Amino acid sequence: MNGEQRHDADAGSGVEDMEFSWDEYLEDTGAVAAPHGSFKHVDTSLQNGFAPGMKLEVAVKSDQNTYWVATIITTCGQLLLLRYDGYGEDRKADFWCDIMTADLHPIGWCEQNEKVLKVPEGIKDKIPDQEEFLQQVLKGACSAPANLLEGLHRGKNPLDLIAPGSRLELQNSRDALEAWIVNVVENVGGRLKLRYEGLEDSDKFDQWIFYLDPFLHQVGWATQNGYNLQPPLAIRSLKSEADWQEILKKVKKEEEESSVPTDLFKDKPVIGVHSFSEGMKLEAVDPTAPFVISPATVLKVYNEKYFMIEIDDLRPERASSQSYICHVNSAGIFPVQWSLKNGIHLSPPPGYPGQDFDWADYLKQCGAEAAPQSCFPSLTSDHGFKENMKLEAVNPVDPEEVCIATITKLRDSYLWLQLEGSKKPIPDCIVSVESMNIFPVGWCETNGYQLRPPCKAIVNKQKKIAVVQPEKQILSSRTVHDGLKNQELNSSDSVVINGKYCCPKIYFNHRCFSGPYLNKGRIAELPQSVGPGNCVLVLKEVLTLLINAAYKPSRVLRELQLDEEAAWHGHGETLKAKYKGKSYRATVEVVRTADRVADFCRKTCIKLECCPNLFGPQMVLDKCSENCSVLTKTKYTHYYGKRKNKRIGRPPGGHSNLEVAMKKPNKRRKKRKHFFVHKKKRSSTSVDNTPAGSPQGSGGEDEDDQDESELSHSLTQDQDKRKRKLRTFSFSDDENKPPSPKEIKIEVAEKLQLDSNPLEWSVADVVRFLKSTDCAPLARIFLDQEIDGQALLLLTLPTVQECMDLKLGPAIKLCHHIERVKLAFYQQFAN
């Protein structure tokens, strides 16, 4: 509702159509994309009418003549992930099905159609009394909508029901008590191009509005709510009153054929009651030119929901006024002094004497009062947007255009966007974070709409890349790209948002065990979820977030990289990592279809030695099905750690595509001294396998199966060395040698007397010990990282520095106390 006339496009634009790639653009500009989860309206538009927790009756696979009750675990377009009731938290039997082809029915269908409900064989022994079980699970249950499982709407995304030719009602932007019928000309991912009924041959007054706009309604809304159904003043003179009445009769006659289902608007924002009065002053953004904030006046109050605002203009000769309808949650209205408090320039009204605008003088001059703070909704800063992030945004001057946008400024819940590639240059636009005219990166491509490319192509600068092994064995991103073009992968297939390529929402379950490679604190800072959206784009964003949450991003990237000799079943994506001033990149395989997402997430978790439920399409609410909370870092590897020897120094020839941007040639590595564990004998070609960044140090592949008794025996062999007063530390032999002193000597001070064996200490015991020392402030880190007694005894100075981000001084002090515990262990418990 940003005006009733669409601005004419500039046909003489000199911008050439070119192939645009967001991935290349982000890499060239060094920018990041705004998170998908920040665009709530897009998230809502991808929902298919089914929701997790809904129940339905499904044909049993082993016996197609019988059915059983199943619960929806997650949804993705026309795909549902289901679990038969009776499996509880066991996800092993979860299965995907297509609404269009599967035998699915609402609850009660079997009884109505005399079909048999029978417990599947896999859970028969868990359900002794079928009738009692069904009464229990169906009590208060929500059935899947029958209209989405049967008939014409079966398997359709509700958004697809707004097809060209459908009719809706749109409230008048100049009079909230009036509405008129509009025809859908085009539906682009929920963004509708609308044309007033009666103007079929003219596009002069077409408007682009997202289907969740609070001013857009189903046909019949105006009559039901007591509003006038008549054409806007701007087009009323184009036809006679008799013609308009004839058009209205025709619409009512064809109402059933062209109407949109009512429940399609159930997710629309609810308009609340406002408390504005006529004559109140405020600050506002003109939606037709959202470039500045200006003084404004409440011109008219229609009812408890709607009021009109006019941008102040003091010129006596003004030809027209800038006025528009608002409600309590309308974007772009602020209390007096909001601009001043937020360091934003307030544009004085045209005709105001002088440039230094003062609200106190202005209110006195106008004899008006400022609208109180209570009239305005509270603004949120919890939205995920940050300065310099990239997104896609509608050009307010030409709504046909969707442009690349950069966030140049952030204030509360408002963004200042710089648009690139627009036909006519415009100033930065001011939009709300909840605006339905902003979209995530890739939205245009996903919905088949032309994104305006940048006016100037980004030139790739020559980069010096040092390859970790012979260049001929590198699987480069270009090789991957060319290979995919020759395969069956089609770019149009991979972005079908409502089909099998739609990835469900991926949840980060922060309570689950984070493993040796991922920093639990950084994992906790990740968004609750990513997606839904295109599988490749969503999974790439998820993996990038995980890499950045690692102790050593380069180490995690190496774990995830694609093995050239392995079977390739998915899509190759180039991911990047930065660590200690160096840049790494590798090709990582991601799946392309929704039915493989859950398995991909689980396998990736196991690869990173974390809980298999740490991230995936299922949200862990109270208790993890893997019961990972009872396992500590050193014990967890026994269940989910790797069992094979791997190299983490220089990758095996021909098996790695990891590249690193070179700064300096690698220096000769120092031989590592092992203090606490005597490792098994190695071949002359092997290298140290301890994963840098692992706080417990148990990630070394030679030590994966080492149990508590082996550790005690190894420590005993070093007992005599430990009794020395002087202790020499050696730095970890990893690929990124820290710029620290070569050797640091620490004198072990007073003798420590322990009441219990530190091998048996829990995380709480470790925290209790640290709080008794002068390193008490660091106890929180040990608690967050779940470091128990075994892990404590394996800590070294390098791992303390890397894993806990400590400077050398505090790290040495902490290691001093760890050494005291080790010495006491040798003296009291090692024998």
- What are the DSSP calls for 235-249, one per residue? HHTTS-HHHHHHHHH
| Terminal-to-terminal C-alpha distance of the chain | 81
Nearest Cα residue to 395 out of 699, 181, 633, 191:
191
Same structural domain for residues 246 and 171?
yes
Q: Mean pLDDT, 10 residues at a time, over the chain (831 residues)?
A: 41 49 86 90 82 89 85 81 88 83 88 88 86 87 81 71 89 88 92 92 90 91 89 90 90 75 78 93 91 94 93 84 90 93 91 86 92 86 87 94 94 92 88 94 90 65 36 32 34 39 84 87 86 84 91 89 61 82 84 86 90 89 77 52 39 44 42 34 34 37 38 43 37 37 43 86 90 86 84 82 76 88 84 63
Instruction: Report the distance separating Cα 594 and Cα 245, nearest Å.
Output: 50
- Domain CATH number, residue 319: 2.30.30.140
Range of the domain at 787: 758-830
Look at residue 188 and tell me if it is in a domain: yes
Do 542 and 614 share a structural domain?
yes
Say what the pLDDT of residue 755 is: 86
- Same-domain pairing of 236 and 130: no
Strand 533-534 relative to strand 79-84: parallel, antiparallel, unpaired?
Answer: unpaired
Strand partners, 325: 308
Considering the domain architecture, whether residues 176 and 53 belong to the same structural domain is answered as no
Residues 287, 237 share a domain: no
Which of 120, 149, 178 is where one domain is finished? 149
Residue 571 belongs to a domain: yes
Q: Which amino acid is at 509?
A: N
pLDDT score recorded for residue 809: 78
In terms of domains, do 513 and 587 share one?
yes
In a domain, 797, yes or no: yes
Q: Does residue 426 sit within a domain?
A: no
| Domain CATH code at residue 581 | 3.90.1150.190
Which amino acid is present at 264? L
Name the CA dihedral angle for 80, 84, 86, 89, rounded to a multiple of 10 degrees: -30
Task: Indicate if 245 and 310 belong to the same structural domain.
Answer: no
The per-residue pLDDT for 386 is: 92
pLDDT of residue 804: 77
The owner of tokens 């208790």 is: 623
Where a domain ends, among 341, 371, 401? 371
Same domain, yes or no: 145 and 183 = no
What is the total residue count of the chain?
831
Residue with the two structure tokens 């967890």: 636
Question: Could you tell me if 288 and 240 lie in one domain?
Answer: no
C-alpha distances in Å from residue 829, one per residue of 382, 747, 754: 51, 22, 9
Q: Is residue 646 part of a domain?
A: no
Neighbouring-strand partners of residue 745: 728
CA distance 406 to 419: 7
- Any domain includes 249: yes
Q: Is residue 562 part of a domain?
A: yes
Q: Are residues 622 and 526 in the same domain?
A: yes
Residues 509 and 619 in one domain: yes
Residue owning tokens 């590897």: 637
Q: Do 241 and 288 fall into the same domain?
A: no
Closest CA to 222 of 274, 166, 170, 162: 170
Q: Say if 388 falls within a structural domain.
A: no
Closest among 545, 580, 576 to 561, alpha carbons compared: 576
Q: DSSP characters for 414-461? A: EEEEEEES-SS----EEEETT-TTEE-TTHHHHTT-PEEPPSSPPPPP
Q: How many domains does the chain have?
A: 5
Tell which of 149, 183, 213 closes a domain.
Answer: 149
Environment class of 583 (CB within 10 Å of its CB; exposed 0-12, middle 13-18, buried 19+) = middle
